[in-house]
Structure 1
Amino acid sequence: MEATTAGTAPATTTETTSETAGGETGRAPALAPLYRNWRFQALWAGQASATLGLQVADTAYPLLLLALTGSSTLAGAFGALQICATVLFGLHGGSVADRYDRRRVLITADSVRLLAAGSVPLAMALDRLTVVHTLLVAVAIGATIAYSGPVRLLAVRSVVPPEQLRQALAQDEARMSGAGLIGPPLAGYLFGAGRAVPFLGAVVTTLLSLSAALAVRFPSPPKAAEQQPRSSGGALAGFRRLAADPVLRPALAVIFVTNLAGAAMLLPVIVQLRGHGASSGGIGLALAGEAAGALAGAFLVGRLHRLAGPGALLLAVAWTCVPVTLAPLLPGGAATVFAALFLVGLGTPTLRVMIDLLVFRRVSDELRGRVVAATMTLLTIGMPAGMLGSGLLLDHLSPTAALATVAGALAACLLPATAGRTLRRATWPAES
């Protein structure tokens, strides 16, 4: 596999061999523990702050719009506009990550998000906050995610030696899962303390993220790349690279349909639980099962990766989602849903780390930003598509029939990849 800059620029270890007194090459020094890699830990802390702030915002802004207007449509429009902006600017964000200084891109994106986040409590203090202002903030946040997302993925990994990449990615997954578990209830608590409080919290977390970007230097593309606007095939080169790879192509297809089915499952589950008398709090706790499982699964990444190859592991987790989709039809209500989603969540960090390892071992640095952006786009568009599809299903079917349809469609989509040999025979890339 090709060794690339973004995966081989550690701060706390030397991978080159040392010369002995007799002129012979000696062994490289032992790797320093990951917790002593200050650049990784600083970037990780900044990314954790940014993720927590985004999780709080994703809950607080709809609550604010609902309080201002009483309209569920406008409350849902915030998330929809944010996702649309991320997808719309995603391809350009990948090209920018491949052509320009990545640290400057990250600093710029965090600065824009800080201004957008700060404008909300300021407008509230002046009694000038409007719905249009709030929705424009959604677009700004979505756009900054499109530019900072690929850079963050590359930056955190660029300061870790290949031998510790799996461990670093597992720690990164714990950060994402922890933020997903803590963020929504924290947003609700802060909103109850005062309408402006969660947005002030978002300002603080964004400021911490920006501080980490200012403090840490990490590798960027060569200067020559800035003078080649269409180098390596332009903005769509990432999609072409994924489509040409015999392992990444079916792997991403399986993850895409699994994400789509997971998003399509959400609304029928909520309707099903409400029909059985579950409270809003009970439904929220039930849906937190996946985040709780992912947090626990972050500590199982190494063991699961040793247990099976990447393709076999991916198919095993994907097929687990089929019976889990039907779990809400079983007795037990919210508790059953929590347990089922917890089971699926256990495998989520393993799959994310798997994609990272495969991409970072197969893609050269000059294309890496566009490949990351293409991957994020493919995995993001499945969510609104699944939500829209589930709404259409519920217009014509009962929640039970809708869940059975989603489970059947997922199984049908997984059959070709399972029958093929490519994924089942895929192996882990070398770690150096």
Structure 2
Amino acid sequence: MSTGSGADSAPAPTTHDSQPTHDSQPAHDVRPTPDTRSKAPTAPREPEAARSSRTSMFRSLRIRNYRLFFLGQVVSNIGTWMQRIAQDWLVLSLTGSSTAVGVTTALQFLPMLLFGLYGGVLVDRLPKRPTLLGTQSAMAVTGLGLAALTLSGQVEVWHVYVAAFAVGLATVLDNPARQSFVSEMVGPEQLQNAVSLNSANFQSARLVGPAVAGVLITGVGTGWAFLLNGLSFVAPIAGLLLMRKRELHVVERAPRGKGQLREGLRYVAGRPELIWTIVLVGFIGTFGFNFPVFLTAFADDVFASGAGEYSLFNTLMAVGSVAGALLAARRGTSRLRVLIGAALAFGAVEVAAAVSPSLWLFALLMAPIGMFGMTVNVTANTSIQMTTDPAMRGRVMSLYMMVFLGGTPVGAPIVGWVTDAYGPRVGLAAGGLVSLAAAAVVGLVLTRAGGLRLSVGWHHGHPKVRFVPRAAGDRLATATR
């Protein structure tokens, strides 16, 4: 695939897939021009059933392998959210420090920062399904070990630190492998829908996991949440084992060789729509997505409440996140203007939440924060996957995940220190302002790179503000409109 400007808005290539398709969606909804359409006046119209199939919100679930993967992840994701809530609350109860919660979060994502790019190189070389079987098994063992320590009354904060770091090590391979494996299960024509449903799956589990964790923490203790999380990995492992290998869209694996890490970095650096998207999610992930630090501090210090309210904050945020993911699944395209707009809205609502005077107003604002945050996540993820060559996808996605998740070890302790030193409201407001500034700067950079200008006018009696290309034919400009 070309890496020059001519490929900026091209669809995800299918030349490496075993079953090429002819109706895959372009990466940024670049529709054919009138001249192109006029060359085939006799082409039959697409049947209504086919059009509705392509726009169905749950169309990827018709594929058996993906359905097994999806159902397994439902169970595992509930356990993951239970452990996240229990882990944060356990650290806070052992230390009484928001900084300690930030350190725990940082340790969980530190391996991605240190080894994420190398993980992507390995994922491009390895078969995805066996890799996922190994990583899911490793995370199950970690959860069961932490459960044994907690239930026996021997747990100390350094045990939680070690467990968080161990999960992070497994994530170095698990995240890019899972991201890349989606295209092998569904093929390029269903990629956006499947990625969006994955996000909806993860966030739907957030509706159940925190609620169950809150009941367990207040009723029988955090150890049972860790135990159930460890057992929940049986479901995705079983789903992977039951898949039909012959139905996978197998992608040619990258051969072992020198310079593959540099090759991946050059690939991203030469494409503005990739590099600037990664820069944006890096700033937002580092400073705006530190919810374990923010929400524990607001529940404990600002509103003098407990684990129940902390669980409520996470649940309401999950409601918004599910809505954002399902709306992304409904959309047939992934546009950079949606990404910039959602990032701006995310930062603005975080600032509003930081100054909210009451617990209930703060809680209600968790829903739009979740919705806009998920829109940023899904739009960036699908945009990057759909414009990346399959043979490079592991390396590109590992860079994306390294920046998005690996920035947490940098941001979490900083945000935790600001929260301890100046108060939770200042910490949350700072995260929102950084997100706002990053979205504005990246939006301006992409506007200039795409040769766009701001157009203000009227449409059917209503004001209409949009970006339009300065010169015709600029494909990146078309992608960002």
Write out aligned runs for 1:320-339 (5 A).
Answer: 320-328=345-353, 330=355, 332-339=357-364
What is the CA–CA distance in structure 1 between the aligned matches of 2:290 and 2:223, rounded to whole Å?
Answer: 33
- What's the TM-score once normalised by structure 2's chain length? 0.72
Shift of the 190–123 alpha-carbon distance from structure 1 to 2, 3 Å rule, reads same
Per the TM alignment, residue 380 of structure 1 is displaced from its structure 2 partner at its CA by 1.1
Partner of 2:392: 367
Q: Are 1:209 and 2:239 matched, yes or no? A: no
Write out aligned runs for 1:156-167 (5 A).
Answer: 156-167=182-193
What is the CA–CA distance in structure 2 between the aligned matches of 1:128 and 1:111, rounded to whole Å?
Answer: 24
Write out aligned runs for 1:159-238 (5 A).
Answer: 159-191=185-217, 192-193=219-220, 196-216=223-243, 217=245, 218-219=248-249, 221-222=251-252, 225-226=254-255, 228-230=256-258, 233-238=259-264
Letter in 1 for 2:238: S
Asked if structure 2 preserves the Cα contact closer than 8 Å seen for 1:247 and 1:426, the reply is no
Write out aligned runs for 1:34-49 (5 A).
Answer: 34-49=60-75
Give the paired residue count.
412
What is the CA–CA distance in structure 1 between the aligned matches of 2:88 and 2:339, rounded to whole Å?
Answer: 34
136-145 or 283-292: bigger deviation: 283-292
3-state SS of paired residue (1:222): coil
Letter in 2 for 1:208: A
Quick one: which of 319, 327, 344 aligns to 1:292?
319
Per the TM alignment, residue 357 of structure 1 is displaced from its structure 2 partner at its CA by 3.0
Asked if structure 2 preserves the Cα contact closer than 8 Å seen for 1:97 and 1:151, the reply is yes
Asked if structure 1 preserves the Cα contact closer than 8 Å seen for 2:290 and 2:415, the reply is yes
What is the CA–CA distance in structure 1 between the aligned matches of 2:147 and 2:309, rounded to whole Å?
Answer: 31
What is the CA–CA distance in structure 1 between the aligned matches of 2:221 and 2:309, rounded to whole Å?
Answer: 24
What is the CA–CA distance in structure 2 between the aligned matches of 1:202 and 1:77, rounded to whole Å?
Answer: 22
Asked if structure 1 preserves the Cα contact closer than 8 Å seen for 2:346 and 2:373, the reply is no
What is the CA–CA distance in structure 2 between the aligned matches of 1:44 and 1:360, rounded to whole Å?
Answer: 19
Letter in 1 for 2:81: Q
What is the CA–CA distance in structure 1 between the aligned matches of 2:318 and 2:148, rounded to whole Å?
Answer: 32
Q: Are 1:253 and 2:283 matched, yes or no? A: no
- What's the TM-score once normalised by structure 1's chain length? 0.79
Per the TM alignment, residue 372 of structure 1 is displaced from its structure 2 partner at its CA by 0.7
Quick one: which of 404, 413, 422 aligns to 1:388?
413
What is the CA–CA distance in structure 2 between the aligned matches of 1:412 and 1:229, rounded to whole Å?
Answer: 40
Partner of 1:21: none
Shift of the 278–100 alpha-carbon distance from structure 1 to 2, 3 Å rule, reads same
3-state SS of paired residue (1:235): helix
Partner of 1:118: 144
3-state SS of paired residue (2:233): helix
What is the CA–CA distance in structure 2 between the aligned matches of 1:135 and 1:277, rounded to whole Å?
Answer: 27
3-state SS of paired residue (1:299): helix
What is the CA–CA distance in structure 2 between the aligned matches of 1:403 and 1:130, rounded to whole Å?
Answer: 28
What is the CA–CA distance in structure 1 between the aligned matches of 2:372 and 2:125, rounded to whole Å?
Answer: 34
Q: For residues 211-248 of structure 1, what are the alpha-carbon distances to aligned partners after superposition, in whole Å with 9 as ceiling and x for unaligned? A: 1222223455536x34x243xx3235434332221112
Shift of the 71–7 alpha-carbon distance from structure 1 to 2, 3 Å rule, reads farther
351-360 or 389-398: bigger deviation: 389-398
3-state SS of paired residue (1:282): helix
3-state SS of paired residue (1:279): coil
Letter in 1 for 2:144: G
Q: Are 1:379 and 2:404 matched, yes or no? A: yes
Quick one: which of 113, 119, 124 aligns to 1:98?
124
Q: For residues 46-76 of structure 1, what are the alpha-carbon distances to aligned partners after superposition, in whole Å with 9 as ceiling and x for unaligned? A: 2333333222222234445667x55657666
